[in-house]
Chains A and B, each alone.
Chain A
Amino acid sequence: MPSSLLWAVDVYGRVYSLSTTGQQWEQCRHAHLEFKRVSAVQQCCWGIACDHHIYLNVHASDVRIRYQEETYENQRWNPVDGFSDRLLPSDRWQWSDVTGLTHQPLDSFQLPSENWEWEADWYVDENFGGEPTEKGGWTYAIDFPATYTKDKKWNSCVRRRRWIRYRRYKSQDTWAKIPSEQTGSLPDPFNDISCGGWEITEEPRGRLSLWAVSLQGKVWFRDGIHYLNPEGSVWEEVSTPGEVVQISCGPADLVWAVLWEGQLLVREGISRDYPKGSSWVVVESPSPEVGAIHVAVGVNVVWAVTKDHRVWFRRGVNSHNPCGSGWIGMVGEMVMINVGLNDQVWGISCEDRAVYFRQGVTVSELSGKSWKAVSVPRDNERSHSSASASSLQSAGCYFGGEVHLQSQASVLSDVDSEAEKATEGAPPTLEPDEAPKPRIPKVTSDSFISELVSDREGQIGRHEGPPTAAGPSIPEEEGTEWSNVDLEEAQTHLTVGTVADSAETCSLSSVATYNLGLEEQYGADEHPLWAWVSGGGCAIDSHSQLNWFNSTTGLNSSMQAMSLSITPTQTAAWRKQIFEQLSERSKREMENFKHYEQAIEQSVWVKKGSMQWWRDWKPYKWMDVQFAVEQFSGAEGNKDGILFIYYTFNEEKKYLHAFINEVTILVPVLNESKHTFAIYTAERTKQRWPIRLAAATELEMHDWLALLSVSCCDSRGIHGPPSKQAIWSVTCKGDIFVSEPTPSLEASPYPMPCDQMFWRQVGGHLHIVECNSLGVVWGIGYDHTAWVYTGGYGGSFFQGLSSSTDNIYTQTDVKSVYIYENQRWNPVTGYTNRGLPTDRYMWSDASGLKECTKANTKPPSPHWTWVSDWAIDYSVSGGTDREGWQYAADFPASYHGHKTLKDFVRRRRWARKCKLTTTGPWQEVPPIPLSDVTILPCGLKNAVEQVLLWAISNKGDVLCRLGVTSLTPAGTSWLHVGTDQPFKSISIGGVYQVWAIARDGSAFYRGSVSAQNPAGDCWYHIPSPNRQKLKQVSVGRTSVYAVDENGNLWYRQGVTPSYPQGSMWEHISNNVRKVSVGPLDQVWIIADKVQGSHSLSCGTVCHRLGVQPMEPKGQSWDYGIGVSSLLLCS
């Protein structure tokens, strides 16, 4: 789990965040002003400051937010000037957008706000649809508008070129004011804010919904917020049936608001196309006599707080029924509630103002079990005085809020009476028992001040001057000078603030605010008093391990010390000493006495059990068999074993056996109905016929797999973690395998055949794995999460001895399952789900051959569980209409996203997410999701300190990882390498050649990459093979191979040290899915349609034979295991 943040505001208006891996509240130092409320999501946090303006805090990322501005320069040819900017009157503008309709000169582009900066100047784009253009970037056509080509022809009368300039968002990790550009239509300041809605669309654009409430009770929606435009573009008013005091927006399509009168509003009609929704429905307050004052919504939950602080849970809420069905009263009295990710709930107790977490909230039990206080110290607990001093300083500048003013006023005059007055002046909605509490000490001015001194030393140090001039604080003369000025200012503001507060518009929120003011004076510093909490960015669920509860300051620091010591133990001297001494001891006590008899004789050890076996002959079927593994120790102490399958055929007892040391791989083949696995030997790989066995339960299968795996490793003398030179691969199911290279693997002229390599499984789940020979291994999950190998082994179902104790962590992965809804048009009813008799199933898989309904489609294996509901998938290639439909003339055909007259069928894709949780030697590398990764393949003699690692984010950004060494394989940070378009594949060769493929299929070579300059300096555009769009590239020591979208494998000719770009592409093979070139230029591919492979495999690993220094292309393919493995050599 990567760490994420819980945000909170204390009663002083200070903003804090608490990391899921941390144990203390960190004050947000960038906040130079007090905040009233915050609303967090994972990538940013919105807040309302005490000046009632809205601020945005975008979390810093190694990849900056960059927005590409583009404009076109258009020219026409005339006999006099040649091409010139003198166009015909009927022509487009000289500078225009792509359509030519809008006039767009370069100087018309302005930065949208002061939070942006230009990255560089304008430049010409010399890439035209994946092909490099001539210098100057011109593309030619006969006339506007027309088809452009990169070559000038005799009839080219017009030409145009594209200019690009990037601007980037600069206000990261700081509170940037959102300019209120429409001052006219925004008469009053904001009072509440709520951010969410990112799950409404599955777009990578990262659209967000931001709802805000003004002091007058109006609701506003911020339009146009997405990843490249974090500030949004415009406020739109949303009319409401009454005055709203508070609003809450969930991650998906739930939006609820609270009316001044205490009823609740539910927004209906929110969808992908209408994130603002269409109408409001009123829901009555949970309790008829007491109105609601606060509401919080998640994906499928709604929580509310009534004016008596009671907490309510709304039953039956979901996307189809946003109003739910009824209220349930919950235990606990809260000031406010917030629902974060995974419908987890946070609250601020009205009794002690502590932040509470709702424990036990799961999908099946959304209301959770109990409240648990978050008790961690704040980072400024010890250095408190300085912190509050600084906060006051800033308060002097921005004093518009209510909180501090009251306390300061009290200090200045008679404290007692002031406090009383303040109480009397409370708004009528104030809870009576919220006023002077018995625990509040009766204070005199002196004792009060001293208490305050202990509380907020810095602040009081400045204020105690005038009232206690005779007191012992004379040395603080300078401070007094200061405070006089400061206070005068504050007082003027005070009047303003009070007027605003006591005005009719005073909302319910001031109930909370007022109390805060009161409590602030007496607040015991042991317990921070919180005003607001937001868990929208806090990625936890009911299984998360949090160290936030029941910790005291003392224990906390020691706990941190302990958790820190986990890793250092490995390097600690004492540990090294034990390792060394033990091996010395073994040598001393055993080496010379090996001929002695052992006291305990070793014997044969057998494990037996019942299983089902997929019969070797026709008719193939599962039959009951007895399965046994015999393990014995050889003469030299090495272990070996045999596995037996006892079956009955024609009432005759027979058996089949295999030697454990001949097993090459054990593959779990989980499907819905059976818990099966396959055992391959070299012989059976050749025959494409593994031993397939099914156990009765998953647990049994895992027991057997773990046992067999240990036996296989024992028989081959493999113990502990994989070596640094190990070869890693993943199957198409995401299982991870590792193989120890043997010297014979690449031996010439008779390399070890692929089918004899032994692969053992390592826990975890990955989509892509990449390694080098220094033991740096990275992986990418199906959900694009980046993982780094920790040096352990085992995990998953490998328990106990086949797993290391350290370095095993929880790993999760999420992927989508897709089904298709198919319809046919008929003249009477239009499109219906009644097809022709010859048609495919109306609910099917992509091919249409298999029926897949929403109800009968299960997750891929029992390890996966559904985590979302079925939703229409709009991100299908070819595009869709607004309802997600794609049209075609008939099944099966090519589909397009709009209906034409010739279209008689249509289909749409539904997606449902499922999640897998396992364990393995992998640690997440947050926070940027990746789609490809490559590591410099270091030769063994190569003592490179820093290991070059490049990656591509799932948005297509090219990234270079800094600080990667064999001791710190995770590295430290990303360096963003600018590109003009998104990329999809990348590979580094043995001598720092970086090759990459852009999304448009063009290839690029990065120049001047070296150990000293890991990011290189510029991109060289390499023309693609004729008419082919490349999709993947792999570089060895000198060879460069690429695969195109049609499965052709290409070899780059003419690559030399002085000309690393090479000269041209040469076709090698077809039916290739993926290629991997090793550091010795070994070529491995995953091939489709290898003869003899059957349905069990979805690809075959092949090794290029005959690769020689003089013949880098090799001669033929050697076919390996029939399990799709994305193979990586070292």
Chain B
Amino acid sequence: MTLPTPIIMADDKDVLRDVWFGRIPTCFMLYPDEVTEREAEPFYLLLPRVSYLTLVTDKVKKHFLKVVKAEDVEEMWFEYEGTPLKWHYPIGVLFDLHASNTALPWSVTVHFKDFPERDLLHCPSSSVIEAHFMSSIKEADALKHKGQVINDMQKKDHKQLWMGLQNDKFDQFWAMNRKLMEYPTEEGGFRYIPFRIYQTLSDRPFIQKLFRPVSPEGHVLTLGDLLKEMVPAAIYEPKKYQVVIHGIEPLLETPIQWLSEHLSHPDNFLHICIVPAPND
């Protein structure tokens, strides 16, 4: 009788750390048409990939408010090369979707006027972000465990998840989040994988459908299986598209369950960006 051989190498926990501590160097510049009292210096910041723009840009706001006329100030919003940036997408998703394969730092334009009502949601306070974040987690858990795990948590546990994200506390967040990542061993994975697929070249905001980690025949399903079903083009024209998650391109044979456990954002969704491949 032989044992399954244990192999000693890097642990999957390291992936969680790498994902959490991903940062995008960003250069914030004021929109030239904004009326200023004096010239606005650009502002440089390391943005956490897993957080939300409006949650981490207090410093940006403070910086530019020094030069913008107070009476002209409305809600701050961001734009990259003409595209308004949706604050309710994680920062990493915005970057991968719109700016992957461009030079760093990422130049984001800051606006204080002409809020694009058609494109963006208002974000009057961080409680709106919290509500959005928590509803995403709940939705994800509804897919994964029929919502049983998140509903069993107490109010303070929910708070711990949010505070963990807000204060960039990996340990605090994951102490709670690991419960959301558990599943009965005999089932081989979550009920459904919470995922969202974003495409630059599409009118739809994103694709989100029901998808199980294991096929009815018991096969482990992979990223490739998911894309084949959702965005066949990404598979059949590999030269044309890149499939980006957290700035990396996982192999198509990566099990979708593993991805969901390790490469999901704090909102428990696996955000997948399909972007045109750089033509070089």
Contact = CB atoms under 8 A, between A and B. Distances in A.
Interface of A: 3, 545, 547, 554-555, 557-559, 561-562, 564-567, 569-575, 577-579, 581-586, 588-590, 592-593, 596-600, 602-603, 605, 710, 719-721, 724, 775, 788-793, 799-801, 804-807, 923-927, 966-970, 972-973
B254 A574 contact: yes
B68 interface: no
Interface stretch (B117-125, B216-224, B270-278): B216-224
Interface string B247-272: 11111011100100011000000000
B13 interface: yes
Contacts of A804: 11-13
Contacts of A788: 3, 6
A596 B174 contact: no
Given A599-B56, A805-B11, A800 B178 contact: yes
Nearest to B179: A800
B6 to A, nearest CB: 4
B13 A585 contact: no
A999 B29 CA distance: 81
Nearest to B95: A589
Interface stretch (B45-53, B69-77, B203-211): B45-53
Interface of A is mostly: mixed
B110 to A, nearest CB: 14
B191 interface: no
B34 interface: no
Interface of B is mostly: loop
Nearest to A776: B8
Given A805-B13, A966-B8, A970-B2, 11 more contacts: A547-B186, A565-B220, A578-B250, A579-B14, A582-B19, A588-B104, A592-B104, A596-B105, A599-B47, A599-B59, A724-B8
B9 A791 contact: yes
A719 B178 CA distance: 18
B146 interface: no
Contacts of A969: 5-6, 8
Q: Identify the 9 closest CB pairs spanning chains A and B, nearest first.
A: A558-B218, A791-B8, A593-B25, A790-B6, A581-B248, A599-B56, A574-B251, A574-B254, A600-B168
B210 to A, nearest CB: 20
B11 A578 contact: no
B148 interface: no
Contacts of B56: 599-600
A589 B247 contact: yes
Contacts of B22: 585-586, 589
A558 B217 contact: yes
B171 interface: yes
A923 B13 contact: no
B4 A557 contact: no
20 contacts: A554-B217, A561-B218, A561-B220, A565-B220, A566-B4, A567-B7, A570-B9, A579-B10, A579-B15, A582-B15, A586-B18, A596-B105, A598-B168, A600-B48, A801-B170, A801-B175, A925-B3, A969-B5, A969-B6, A973-B2
B3 A562 contact: no
A927 B1 contact: yes
A570 B4 CA distance: 12
Contacts of B24: 589
A656 B122 CA distance: 51
B214 A562 contact: yes
A557 B217 CA distance: 9
Interface string B160-188: 00000011111100110010000001101
Given A579-B10, A775-B8, A574 B218 contact: no
Contact of A721 (B8, B21, B48): B8
A805 B1 CA distance: 25
A545 B59 CA distance: 53
A600 B167 contact: yes
Nearest to B252: A574
Interface residues of B, number: 62
Contact of B7 (A559, A570, A596): A570
Contact of B44 (A586, A596, A602, A799): A596
A575 B259 CA distance: 10
Contacts of A588: 104
Contacts of B144: none
Contacts of B4: 564, 566-567, 923
B5 A970 contact: yes
Contact of A602 (B168, B247, B250): B168
Interface of B: 1-15, 18-19, 21-25, 44-48, 51, 56-57, 59, 104-105, 166-171, 174-175, 178, 185-186, 188, 214, 217-220, 246-251, 253-255, 258, 262-263
Contact of B250 (A565, A577, A973): A577
Contact of B11 (A571, A792, A966): A792
B3 A923 contact: yes
A440 B185 CA distance: 40
B23 A801 contact: no
A574 B243 CA distance: 14
Nearest to A571: B7
Contacts of B14: 579, 719-720
Given A547-B186, A788-B6, A800-B174, A599 B51 contact: yes
B1 A3 contact: yes
Contacts of A564: 4
Contact of B219 (A561, A775, A970): A561
Contacts of B44: 593, 596-597
A152 B21 CA distance: 80
B6 A970 contact: yes
Contacts of A575: 254, 258
Contacts of A807: 6
Nearest to A965: B5
A794 to B, nearest CB: 9
B46 A597 contact: yes
B11 to A, nearest CB: 5
Contact of A562 (B170, B178, B220, B251): B220
Given A570-B7, A585-B247, A600-B167, A559 B188 contact: yes
A555 B218 contact: yes
Nearest to A559: B218
A970 B3 contact: yes
Nearest to A555: B218
A590 B218 contact: no
B11 A720 contact: yes
B185 A545 contact: yes
B251 to A, nearest CB: 4
A593 B246 contact: no
Contact of B18 (A559, A583, A801, A925): A583
A558 B170 CA distance: 35
A596 B3 contact: no
Contact of A590 (B13, B23, B174, B255): B23
Given A581-B248, A593-B104, A562 B18 contact: no
B244 to A, nearest CB: 10
Nearest to B263: A578
B50 to A, nearest CB: 11
Nearest to B46: A596
Contact of A600 (B6, B51, B246): B51
A554 B219 CA distance: 10
A567 B6 contact: yes
Contacts of A927: 1
A882 to B, nearest CB: 40
A598 B8 CA distance: 34
Nearest to B18: A582
Q: Which of A574, A586, A793: most chain B CB closer than 10 A?
A: A574
A806 B171 contact: no
A775 B6 CA distance: 11
Contact of B48 (A561, A565, A599, A724): A599
A721 B7 CA distance: 12
A791 B18 contact: no
Given A969-B6, A970-B6, A596 B48 contact: no
Contacts of A775: 8
A967 B18 CA distance: 26
